[in-house]
Homo-oligomer: A and B are copies of this chain.
Amino acid sequence: MKLDEFGLIDKFARMTKPGTNVIVGIGDDAAVLKSKTKGFYDLFTCDAIVEDVHFKLADGARKIGYKAIAVNVSDIAAMGGIPSAAVVAAGISKNISTKFCEELYSGILFACRKFGVEIVGGDTVRSKGIFISIAMTGVVEKGNITFRKGAAPGDTVMVTGRLGHSLKGKHLTFIPRIKEARWLACKFPVHSMMDISDGLAGDLKRMCDASKCGTVIFAEKVPLERTLKKLRKNVSLKHAFTDGEDFELLFTVSPRVAAKLEKDFNRKFKVKVSKVGVIIKEKKLFLESEGKKTPLKFRGYSHFG
């Protein structure tokens, strides 16, 4: 969920008083609700993907369907949870063939099987451009839930995988870090976690705002997508900080935990984890490059920029 990317939506969040069943409403990757199962919370999220914003028709229907599920699974993963059921609302434009729709649903169902999600309902409507809006439920043990808030001064800032250039391809086929997120949430005292959907810069700001702290990121430690490495350093960093849709995990742990976690993680998973920065008390974002600390000038990806 990315409600805060639109100034208005902050207002909407303030207009919405969380009720007695809501642990966290608007403002995290998924809503956290009291569960009827002792020791658990329920999770509830939704993410819509839209033609010419999150995908092009030419990307192929199967990949588009896959992505619609994967972005929601990524939200559940960011809370340390396990996805359960989903409903799909699809807006289909006039020019769309039956074959395209079949492949779209086939991509949706493929992703559902892969990540253990059950499609239980939906709505199909005519619209100008294609959109696929998915709402997903999940569960998480109370002891394993990870919020955006919770980062503490001194924490090590970590990310999975490589960042940037995702919109040049990976954003359609990325694997949401559900396995890694569950492992982290179950094995380690993770202080805060979220998925990187709108660029590291924007999502760091969200995590710091929620945790009432700041951060220093070490430029040389930011793991760049391979295709970025031939670009000038400043250009490649800009991509890593501002490109949308990496869907990697951003999280913080105490420095002592970070060392062991990094070793164990990199032994267990194909994808690597990197220590990219440190949480500070001052509520500002800094970039440290070649020993020089300057205010982070990159801004996250925004649909409304």
Chain A contact residues, CB within 8 Å of chain B? 1-3, 5-9, 11-12, 15-16, 18-19, 21-22, 25-26, 30-31, 33, 35-37, 44-54, 84-85, 87-92, 98, 101-102, 105-106, 109, 118-129, 131, 133, 135, 137, 303-304
Contacts and interface: CB of A to CB of B under 8 A. Distances in A.
Given A50-B125, A87-B31, A102 B5 contact: no
A135 B85 contact: no
A31 B125 contact: no
A48 B135 contact: no
A122 B1 contact: yes
B45 A127 contact: no
A102 B11 contact: yes
Contact of A304 (B31, B49, B126): B126
Nearest to A106: B15
Contacts of A18: 118, 120
A38 to B, nearest CB: 9
A123 B87 contact: no
Contacts of A2: 123-124
A149 to B, nearest CB: 16
Contacts of A52: 128
Given A8-B98, A119-B25, A91 B48 contact: yes
Contact of A31 (B15, B37, B120): B120
B87 A125 contact: no
Contacts of A101: 6, 8
B51 A3 contact: no
A35 B84 CA distance: 13
B102 A8 contact: yes
A121 B87 contact: no
A87 B54 contact: no
Contacts of A98: 7-8
A53 B122 CA distance: 17
Contacts of A102: 8, 11
Contact of A122 (B46, B90, B129): B46
B89 A120 contact: no
A303 B125 contact: yes
Contacts of A5: 124
Contacts of A85: 21-22, 31, 33, 44
16 contacts: A1-B87, A7-B98, A8-B102, A21-B85, A22-B85, A25-B119, A31-B87, A45-B87, A46-B121, A46-B122, A48-B89, A48-B90, A50-B91, A89-B133, A124-B303, A128-B128
Interface centre among A53, A125, A137, A303 (most CB of B within 10 A): A125
Contact of A124 (B9, B84, B89, B126): B9
Contacts of A44: 85, 87, 120-121, 137
